[in-house]
Chain A
Amino acid sequence: MNNKHITFAVCRTVAIAAGALFSLFAFQAVAQPPVAEDSELTELTQPKSKIEAGVGGVTDSNWKFGQYNGLNKSGAYGIGNFDIRGGGAYDSNDATRWRITGNNIGLESRSFTGEYKDQGKYKLNFGYDEIPRFLNNSFRTPYLGTGSADLALPGNWQYPINNNMRTLPASDLPDFHAVDMGTKRERIDGGFSYFFNPQWEGQASMRHENKNGTQALGAPIMGANPRQAVILPNPIAQSTDQINASMKFTGDKGFGQFAYYGSLFHNDINGVTFQNPFSAGGVVPAFGRMSSAPDNQFHQFSLTGGYNFSPATKLVTNGAYARNWQNQDFLPYNTSASGGGVLPTSNLNGDVETKAINLKLTHKVNKDLNFASAYKYDERENHTPINQYTFADADSKGAATNFRSNTPYSKRIHQGNLDANYSFAQGHWLKAGYELQNIDRWCNGTWISCADTPTTTEHTGRLDYRGTFFDKLDSKLGYAYSHRTADNYNQDNALWSKLPTEAALYNQIVATGLPAWGPALPWAAPGDALNQAVFPNNNPASIDGDINGLRRFNTANRDRQKVNSYVDYQVTNKLSMGLGGEFRYDNYPNSNFGLQSSRNWGINLDSSYAFNEDTSAQLFYSYQDILSKSAGMTYGIGTNLNTNAGSTTPGSVVGGCYNTVRAINNTAKTDPCRNWFTDMSDNINTVGLGVKHRGFLNGKLDLNSDFIYSFARTLIGVTGGQYVQSPTGTAANGPFFFIPAANMPTVKTETFQVKLDAKYIINKPSAVHLIYMFQHLFSSDYIYTGMQPAGTPQSVMPTFEQAPTYSIHAVGLSYIYNF
């Protein structure tokens, strides 16, 4: 949508819709059955249609205010909604029904639906939907060609001094221009269903979606400084087609369904080329190229059946089989003519097979006791071939120093459930449940395990109570405990958990028979280099070189506890109150590094009061508290430890910590000066109030008001520290300073919204609708400091993005015609 808010496109849309509506009025006039003599009866039994048209306005522009609703720009907007229904009368022999709807016709979030059916025989439906997603429009970039796959710098671009983006030449700053960041999805749906007879029904539907726009994308490029990056205005031009087809059977005792689901994703953009803004080329690449998501397709067949052996016993089964393919041609390794070698294959030939089986058997012993048992099997097996890829970093013109094999991940879940529900008194139930879940993870064809653990096993026990007291008080209390174990977690790394002498370590590694660097390269010779060899990032002998004691939380041993509860009390006929709470705690007992624990709890208070039949109010308050604790260690890192020797100058390390990687390795890698801990917490308060009244002014005026306040804080506390070499010192001798960690600035997001809605009934078919909304957002987030020229790291191009903060009024006045 451009700056002219009532655009020709919008007017055209409204005109087309109006024309369609007029035609429908004519049709309606013809198709409408004779009006029943009793007008009250008619009012209740005849379908109601509505058309709403008007104009609205927004006082200020802000991408966040209009992120999904299309009200991102200030100015006037058209209001257009309709819901038109028709067909045969309920008491006639005509079973046809039709309905068309349109919402937000004047906005970029418009949608239309239509349905026509001869109920019990067939149904046709269609839909059109636009989903905008506006993104931060304070984004600035010097790149020209936004929206295309080739991004070039302006001709007057001056390269930053010493490749330092914090010292951009003043002449470059005007080159940074605004870009309309965001995407828009346009969906078209169509479908039909047909009853062959009362038991058999066939259905088919299709959705075509286009998604276009621009999103920010980090893009590193090699240069004088390692890993320099720009943030590109990345073009998005994608489409997805989804197809559903099924044949359903419904009998007196059983039912079944055979279904097909297909998804075809297409990306118009194979890759985005961008000019290097750090330096002109020579030894560094002049251009970089980022890839885009490749085309893929997914086809799934499923068969579901259910059978009631008796009114008390039922079995439901489901099986599904799918294939997922991706064979998009690869981009070259490198934009540089000399960089990279010959690709081992032209495309991935990606092939994933998924299988699922679900069984559920339920049995009701008597009115007080019932059981449910279920089994689930879900497998994603990746048959993608494995090849070796040799490449230089980020389009570098240097030698190809990376040697990698791809690792096609596979996963299999076996899960069994058993639940029993017992009513020990009228209106009171106890539910006990047990679940066993086994997950296998592996890669087909890799020469070393790609998974941290081949198998995790989790046992879960649940106990729930729910009951009703005096027909007024509903309550529930539930507790669940889960215990997950990881089988032989990262066994390869476990070999290095206790380090003997250096020579013994070398012999130990060689004795495993594992080649160190891959199938082609030999072990490094023993000596100082070996210490570095223990944790390089591509030494597969230690699985990416992570430090011992790290356990990835999704596969680590875990104890989980969950509690949830609520009490809803109908105090009087007018007043109801509710109090609910939930608590979840995950503990990772074997994880010395990585996620240690996670806690999430919340309380909810609700109250509603019906003053009379026409007036009611609702009030709620929610508080949520989320805390995650992590631990890490800055091993081998620090400007005094860039070499294996580190500094041996006495007193060069301030703080008395270890000088060298070797010294750390020889003490099983414990160094309290390098251990760090993080507490990440989110605290969220939400308050809501709603008041409704119908029938002011002799029953002609209905009023609704809503008030919402949300205040969220993200606090990140960090303890520990790091070493920093004094810029005036030397890497060999220091001095090196220990800089203690500091907490991150608190991230705050505060939202306040008031919405008033008034509808005045002029006469039976006509009403006037007035809406007023005020929304205030305050956002304070440290990440935006790092996006400014004065705050950006040396190696990252600034984007000038600002935290969204606004106070915006919106008002709309429309006329409603009911018929």
Chain B
Amino acid sequence: MKILIKIIMLCGLIIASAHAENTPVTEEKTPAKSAAQALDRDAVCTRCHDENESKPILSIYQTAHGNKADSRTPSCQTCHGESDAHIKGDPKQTVRPSPDFTFAEKSKTYQPSPAEARNGQCLTCHESGLQMHWTGSQHQSQGVACNSCHTVHSPNDKVLAKTTQPEVCFTCHKSQRAESHLFSTHPILAGKTSCSDCHNPHGSTGPKLLVKNSTNETCYTCHAEKRGPFLWEHSPVFDDCSNCHTPHGSNNSPLLKQRVPWLCQECHTVVHAAQVDSGANLIGGDVTTIFGQQPPAALDPRSQANARACLNCHSMIHGSNHPAGAQFVR
């Protein structure tokens, strides 16, 4: 607790010093003046990159970045750099020198600037909020650029819509692409659960870029009924949901890493959990017939191997609040 208090004080000191030192002194601008000035700056670029451009770059004016009445919005050169050499051109060359910062990863004319350089341009404005933990994050350290996922000039940025976001992520995360087509899944392909419901690709304090501090806290945002605390807790549940579940897709409902009862038998060897469960215990199996010599009705296919297996009885497996539910049967 004392350490927590000191950390909170440190955060406060950082905020205070940043604020005190860096309170910006800005010229009071009316929106009209700002928009006009911003458009004048854009004209440096748009006198060439106009509506006749093969790529619809002017569609940026439909987006938040192109809302010139907001004095915060960038001009072309805010992101792409002053690009003096590109503007002046070189009569000796057929192709103009590259702008200072080039973002297109599949341009036929220019190589994209290094990912870090491109990201630096975006981070001049987008360093807080969702991007607080970007520096040192998994994507940043793997050389992913902001525009690897975002299409800033487009009014329909695919990664910002639930229905189209997964296909952007699947560009790199191909195992998850295959898993999303399995029998048991979250409603990812139905456009009801997007990758960013669980993950913050810009960086986070949680494992595997999860939006919360831990796997369980992330799962509880949709599955709050599992939070508890319960009278009888099942230890692997409160340890980590991913002990038993695989969230992107599985052939074993519901999103289980292995089937019951064998999943349960990885941890339990008590009384009937010790029993071997195999095809011999299914209806018509050798346990029920003893090599076909006894009528099947005389013996009993083992309930732990059939249908819902252990969950036929131990159904409150995430925890029970019933005073007689110590074995998760109530």
Contact of B23 among A199, A227, A545, A708 (CB under 8 A): A199
Q: Give the complex CA separation of A389 and B190 in angstroms.
A: 45
Is A421 on the interface with B (CB-CB < 8 A)? yes
Q: Give the complex CA separation of A795 and B30 in angstroms.
A: 78
A:123-172 near B, CB below 8 Å: 129, 131, 133, 166-167
Q: Which residue of B lies closest to A433 (CB)?
A: B141
Binds A, one of B75-83, B94-102, B277-285: B277-285
Per-position 1/0 for A289-319, Cβ under 8 A of B = 1110110101000011111000000111111
Flag if B175 contacts A602 (CB, 8 Å): yes
Determine the chain A residues whose CB is within 8 A of the CB of B259 once the complex forms: 680, 714, 716, 747
Determine the chain A residues whose CB is within 8 A of the CB of B182 once the complex forms: 684, 710, 712, 749
- 5 further contact pairs, Cβ within 8 A, besides A554-B240, A744-B278: A220-B329, A250-B127, A250-B128, A726-B294, A783-B309
Flag if B24 contacts A782 (CB, 8 Å): no
Per-position 1/0 for A716-751, Cβ under 8 A of B = 101011101011000000000101111111010101
Flag if B155 contacts A47 (CB, 8 Å): yes
Is A97 on the interface with B (CB-CB < 8 A)? yes
Q: Give the complex CA separation of A138 and B221 in angstroms.
A: 31
Q: Give the complex CA separation of A294 and B238 in angstroms.
A: 16
Per-position 1/0 for B264-277, Cβ under 8 A of A = 01111111101111
**A404/B17 contact (C-beta < 8 A), A227-B313, A305-B12, A630-B266 known:** no
Flag if B18 contacts A307 (CB, 8 Å): yes
Flag if A792 contacts B294 (CB, 8 Å): no
Is B147 on the interface with A (CB-CB < 8 A)? no
Q: Give the complex CA separation of A322 and B111 in angstroms.
A: 48
A:353-406 near B, CB below 8 Å: 354-360, 362, 372, 374, 376-378, 380, 382, 384, 389, 391-395, 402, 404, 406
Determine the chain B residues whose CB is within 8 A of the CB of A218 once the complex forms: 308, 311-315
Flag if A790 contacts B280 (CB, 8 Å): no
Per-position 1/0 for B67-90, Cβ under 8 A of A = 111111100000000000000000
Contact of A263 among B31, B221, B285 (CB under 8 A): B221
Is B158 on the interface with A (CB-CB < 8 A)? no
Q: Give the complex CA separation of A227 and B280 in angstroms.
A: 21
Determine the chain A residues whose CB is within 8 A of the CB of B183 once the complex forms: 712, 749, 779
Cβ of A267 to closest chain B Cβ, rounded Å:
7
Is B226 on the interface with A (CB-CB < 8 A)? yes
Flag if A421 contacts B141 (CB, 8 Å): yes
Q: Which residue of A lies closest to B303 (CB)?
A: A793
Show 25 A/B contacts (Cβ-Cβ < 8 Å), sorted by A: A41-B51, A68-B192, A90-B68, A91-B35, A93-B32, A199-B23, A252-B22, A254-B19, A265-B225, A307-B18, A348-B321, A352-B228, A372-B135, A380-B214, A382-B229, A395-B330, A419-B136, A429-B143, A464-B142, A594-B266, A595-B267, A637-B272, A676-B278, A747-B259, A799-B307
Is B247 on the interface with A (CB-CB < 8 A)? no
Cβ of B163 to closest chain A Cβ, rounded Å:
7
| Residues in B lying within 8 Å of A, measured CB to CB | 1, 3-4, 7-8, 10-12, 14-15, 17-19, 21-24, 26, 30-32, 35, 39, 50-52, 56, 58-59, 61-62, 64, 66-73, 108, 111, 127-129, 132-133, 135-136, 141-143, 155, 163, 174-175, 177-179, 181-183, 187, 189-192, 205, 213-214, 217, 220-221, 224-233, 235-236, 238-240, 243, 250-252, 257-259, 262, 265-272, 274-280, 282-283, 285-287, 290-291, 294, 297-303, 305-309, 311-316, 320-326, 329-330
Cβ of B216 to closest chain A Cβ, rounded Å:
8
Binds B, one of A6-14, A407-415, A495-503: A407-415
Flag if B14 contacts A372 (CB, 8 Å): no
Cβ of B310 to closest chain A Cβ, rounded Å:
9
Flag if A90 contacts B66 (CB, 8 Å): yes
Q: Give the complex CA separation of A334 and B329 in angstroms.
A: 13
**B136, B141, B300, B315 — which one has the most chain A CB atoms within 10 A of its CB?**
B136
Is A569 on the interface with B (CB-CB < 8 A)? no
**A90/B227 contact (C-beta < 8 A), A727-B299, A791-B301 known:** no
Cβ of B306 to closest chain A Cβ, rounded Å:
3
Contact of B136 among A319, A372, A378 (CB under 8 A): A372
Q: Give the complex CA separation of A724 and B287 in angstroms.
A: 7
Determine the chain B residues whose CB is within 8 A of the CB of A546 once the complex forms: 268-270
**A293/B267 contact (C-beta < 8 A), A254-B22, A793-B300, A793-B302 known:** no
Q: Which residue of B lies closest to A407 (CB)?
A: B233
Determine the chain A residues whose CB is within 8 A of the CB of B265 once the complex forms: 594, 630, 632, 678
Interface of A is mostly: strand
Flag if A722 contacts B276 (CB, 8 Å): yes
Flag if B270 contacts A786 (CB, 8 Å): no
Per-position 1/0 for A45-71, Cβ under 8 A of B = 111100000000000000000011100
Is A806 on the interface with B (CB-CB < 8 A)? no
A:535-557 near B, CB below 8 Å: 535, 537, 544-547, 550, 552-554
Is A177 on the interface with B (CB-CB < 8 A)? no
Q: Which residue of A lies closest to B268 (CB)?
A: A546
Q: Give the complex CA separation of A220 and B327 in angstroms.
A: 11
Determine the chain A residues whose CB is within 8 A of the CB of B324 once the complex forms: 333-334, 340, 389, 391-395, 402
Flag if A249 contacts B315 (CB, 8 Å): no
Q: Give the complex CA separation of A131 and B186 in angstroms.
A: 11
**A537/B271 contact (C-beta < 8 A), A408-B233, A727-B299, A742-B286 known:** yes
A:425-457 near B, CB below 8 Å: 429, 431, 441, 450-451
A:206-226 near B, CB below 8 Å: 216-220
Flag if A352 contacts B275 (CB, 8 Å): no
Flag if A199 contacts B321 (CB, 8 Å): no
Flag if B35 contacts A93 (CB, 8 Å): yes
Determine the chain A residues whose CB is within 8 A of the CB of B18 once the complex forms: 249, 251-256, 307
Q: Which residue of B lies closest to A326 (CB)?
A: B229
A:167-212 near B, CB below 8 Å: 167, 198-199
Cβ of B179 to closest chain A Cβ, rounded Å:
8
Determine the chain B residues whose CB is within 8 A of the CB of A531 once the complex forms: none
**A350/B230 contact (C-beta < 8 A), A92-B35, A343-B323 known:** yes
Is A561 on the interface with B (CB-CB < 8 A)? no
Flag if A306 contacts B14 (CB, 8 Å): yes
Q: Across chains A and B, which 3 residue pairs bring their CB atoms closest together, nearest first?
A: A254-B18, A786-B306, A742-B279
Q: Give the complex CA separation of A171 and B32 in angstroms.
A: 82
Flag if B67 contacts A95 (CB, 8 Å): yes
